């Protein structure tokens, strides 16, 4: 089975890790009957799925839009984790401490690949689990911001799908006359 191109995107690979860890976190620490549980799981799913859907679009404009939806979903999920930390009196670590103390972050980056995403088990230490997800979400949002900026530059340089079809139609008309 050949892999679809979006599976090679670091944003998609990391989104898969985040989604799976997020589900583990929500099932462990958030009441399954609560609206918060459902919304956090759906935000993680939306972030991941919109990367795939956008990549598969013919329209670059729609790809940019769906990458933005993904970014919005992960931004919302980050807010949920920051709210959870605040409401549960959990310290949010500075980036340097998180990267130094959470070995899972290095393992994730070392082991994720398009054909076999590495999903570590969520740490049982609540403070570490929250900080792992916050750190991964910050990394994902940074990568998505860069991906969106790159797609926008491509759109400015090359135009979109509709523009390309219009140019082909004009060219076709000119060759017939």
Query: Over the stretch 145-163, which tens digit does the pLDDT of each residue have?
Result: 999 999 999 999 887 666 6
pLDDT exceeds 70 at position 31: yes
> What pTM was computed for the model?
0.87
pLDDT exceeds 70 at position 171: no
Q: Nearest-CA neighbor of 132 among 120, 117, 114? A: 120
pLDDT over 70, % of the chain: 89
Highest mean pLDDT among 89-93, 107-111, 114-118: 89-93
pLDDT exceeds 90 at position 2: no
Q: Nearest-CA neighbor of 135 among 87, 84, 103, 93? A: 93
Q: What is the pLDDT of residue 169?
A: 58
**Mean pLDDT of all residues in 38-63:** 96
**Mean pLDDT of all residues in 61-81:** 97
**Mean pLDDT of all residues in 123-148:** 96
Virtual CA dihedral for 39, 44, 48, 50, nearest 10 degrees?
30
pLDDT exceeds 90 at position 109: no
Please state at what angle helix 10-29 crosses helix 126-158, rounded to 10 degrees.
150
Concatenate the DSSP letters of all residues of the chain into one string: -PPPGGGG-HHHHHHHHHHHHHHHHHHHHS-TTSHHHHHHHHHHHHHHHHHHHHHH-S-HHHHHHHHHHHHHHHHHHHHHHHHHHHHTTPPPPPHHHHHHH-HHHHHHHHH--TTS---PPPPSSHHHHHHHHHHHHHHHHHHHHHHHHHHHHHHHHH--HHHHHHHHHHHHHHHH-
**Among all chains, which residue has been given the structure tokens 């940074």?**
142
Q: Nearest-CA neighbor of 136 among 176, 78, 68, 87? A: 78
Tell me the backbone φ, ψ of residue 20, rounded to 5 degrees.
-65, -40
**Mean pLDDT of all residues in 123-137:** 96
- Residues 6 or more apart whose Cβ sits within 8 Å of residue 5: 55
């Amino acid at each position: 089975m050949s892999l679809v191109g979006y599976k090679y995107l670091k944003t998609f690979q990391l989104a898969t890790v985040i989604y799976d860890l997020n589900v583990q976190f929500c099932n462990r620490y958030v009441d399954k009957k609560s609206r918060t549980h459902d919304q956090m799981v759906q935000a993680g799913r939306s972030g991941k799925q919109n990367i795939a859907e956008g990549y598969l679009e013919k329209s670059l404009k729609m790809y940019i839009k769906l990458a933005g939806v993904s970014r919005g979903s992960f931004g919302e999920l980050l807010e949920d984790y920051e709210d959870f930390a605040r409401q549960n009196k959990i310290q949010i670590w500075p980036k340097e401490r998180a990267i130094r103390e959470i070995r899972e972050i290095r393992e994730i980056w070392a082991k994720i690949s398009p054909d076999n995403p590495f999903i570590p088990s969520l740490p049982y230490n609540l403070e570490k689990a929250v900080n792992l997800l916050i750190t991964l979400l910050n990394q994902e949002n940074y990568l998505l911001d860069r991906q969106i900026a790159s797609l926008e530059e491509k759109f400015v340089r090359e135009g979109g799908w509709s523009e390309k079809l219009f140019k082909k139609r004009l060219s076709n008309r000119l060759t017939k006359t």
